A and B are shown apart, each in its own frame.
Chain A
């Protein structure tokens, strides 16, 4: 099912348009930063540029792209009536659901990876790659890139959960815009409440912050935060997959 899902949706215009939107943001950001540097407002290193551009992308645009795409990928199956193809041929609803979940995960990674690759190219093409001082330690450009890539992958995992939520809403309401708006609303509530005390979801965002801000990642406190983050992610993903399973399994699939 996964290969079929990739074949179906990586050939849609929407997939490439959304990627182009991400790259458009990268170009605009690059123009702004190089412009500021030229007039002497700011001294920018490749590391600064990467953190800035990736941060803007993963916290504002990536969730929008993923939620839109995920909602479209599920709602379009109703619109095209193609959901009946695997079901009539005897594939189980669970197989369809896992295929969609895998598509959502791979798409999220693809959106993040494509942006990151271009951002790396821009960073090292436009700015100097030099050792950087983080807190009290100097880190190499390679370590900096690895930290940013890991933080991006972590946030992509979080975004995947909201993509799944968009799919659940699309299965329930069959309207891609409504589904993606609903899921984005949840994401922004999550983002706004990340620093609220005793927020059980807080470790999820603490991990990427520590990855780019903390010099010493061998600290046991960091390991504990990662474990807490993984636990929260597994629990939330499990709940959303469970809801997805119930909504989709109980549903009468009738087409307009």
Chain B
């Protein structure tokens, strides 16, 4: 009996180690088969997000894809028709805002943040409030009424509220909307810094593919209320089977492509090809050279998020780089 117990414990430990090895960061938020209908209109179907601790997770999709509704479901503002949201944290460890940041217009920026302490029944820490306002660049406007703020300043105040208690997960809907280019860069850097230095996990919806590409660690693309893909940025970038083939005789090269190679695009002296998993670039090179096709270059291409996005959403390839 004792022998069996020891083996059971060892087995459990092995399973745990195995799990930890394959996925070192645990899930902080998960949505399981989320569906949402407004009346007879189904706006979301079968949304399964897996946000890991330490992620900068970005929801992408065109207008009306269901990004904001998904965030509404996650934050419990909207009731799901079916499915569930699992947050591996305690109340108060999630913060953020959806759409235009909420502010009390008749109160100053400082008083807006002071309210967050009162809502949590915590003593007001003015030093922390001032520090947080300085972090988002609102130190000089701390005593101004929030109703007088520009859109960009409201975004900053919304960010300050989200950051105030350094939650484990921050949810933001279009956080750089209405900001000037300097503000966009500042917010991007702030998200990245807080993620790296304090381990804050971010769940963000965004349209700005170039911005997303620079900070996201994991993305999910929604289209017409359905989830098209969920993947890490690394796996998307890797694009391991797509190669650029440079040759002065592209027509001959096209004709000589062996089985297992798909031509994606041809432009000038460059062919873009996808290789099947059982075919390597060395074999392709040997096959072409033996067939008398001069090959001046053969290299893996990195995927750009923009290209991948259009491919997934609309089935058209954008520009490969």
Complex interface: chain A residues within 8 A of B91 (CB): 89-92
A88 with B77, Cβ < 8 A, contacts A4-B115, A7-B115, A254-B72 known: yes
Complex-state Cα separation, A21 to B203, whole angstroms = 48
Most central of B98, B100, B102, B107 by chain A CB within 10 Å: B102
User: Contact partner of A3 among B38, B96, B107, B118, CB < 8 A?
Assistant: B118
Instruction: Determine whether B93 belongs to the interface, using a CB cutoff of 8 Å to chain A.
Output: yes
Instruction: Determine whether B92 belongs to the interface, using a CB cutoff of 8 Å to chain A.
Output: yes
Complex-state Cα separation, A158 to B262, whole angstroms = 78
Instruction: Determine whether A172 belongs to the interface, using a CB cutoff of 8 Å to chain B.
Output: no
Closest to B93 in A: A90
User: Contact partner of B119 among A12, A91, A254, A255, CB < 8 A?
Assistant: A91
Most central of A3, A84, A91, A253 by chain B CB within 10 Å: A84
Instruction: Determine whether B67 belongs to the interface, using a CB cutoff of 8 Å to chain A.
Output: no
Complex interface: chain B residues within 8 A of A254 (CB): 72, 77-78
Closest to B95 in A: A89
Complex-state Cα separation, A85 to B114, whole angstroms = 13
Contact with B along A85-109 (1 / 0, CB 8 A): 1111111100000000000000000
Contact with B along A240-256 (1 / 0, CB 8 A): 00000000001111110
A82 with B104, Cβ < 8 A, contacts A7-B111, A87-B76 known: yes
Instruction: Determine whether B171 belongs to the interface, using a CB cutoff of 8 Å to chain A.
Output: yes
Interface of A is mostly: loop
Complex interface: chain A residues within 8 A of B99 (CB): 81, 255
CB within 8 Å of A: which of B139-198? 161, 167, 171
Interface of B is mostly: loop
Instruction: Determine whether B31 belongs to the interface, using a CB cutoff of 8 Å to chain A.
Output: no
Contact with A along B80-97 (1 / 0, CB 8 A): 000000000011111111
User: Contact partner of B104 among A13, A80, A86, A87, CB < 8 A?
Assistant: A80
Complex-state Cα separation, A7 to B114, whole angstroms = 9
CB within 8 Å of A: which of B223-274? none
Complex interface: chain A residues within 8 A of B75 (CB): 84, 87-88
- Asked if A12 and B97 sit within 8 Å, CB to CB, the answer is no
26 contacts between A and B (CB under 8 A): A3-B118, A7-B115, A80-B104, A83-B102, A84-B77, A84-B97, A84-B98, A84-B102, A85-B115, A87-B77, A88-B76, A88-B77, A88-B95, A88-B97, A89-B91, A89-B116, A89-B120, A90-B91, A90-B92, A91-B119, A252-B38, A252-B72, A253-B72, A253-B78, A254-B72, A254-B77
- Residue ranges of B at the interface with A (Cβ–Cβ < 8 Å): 38, 72, 75-79, 90-107, 111, 114-116, 118-121, 161, 167, 171
- Extra contacts, 9 of them, besides A4-B119, A85-B116, A255-B99 (Cβ < 8 A), are A8-B104, A82-B104, A85-B161, A86-B119, A89-B94, A90-B91, A90-B94, A91-B119, A255-B98
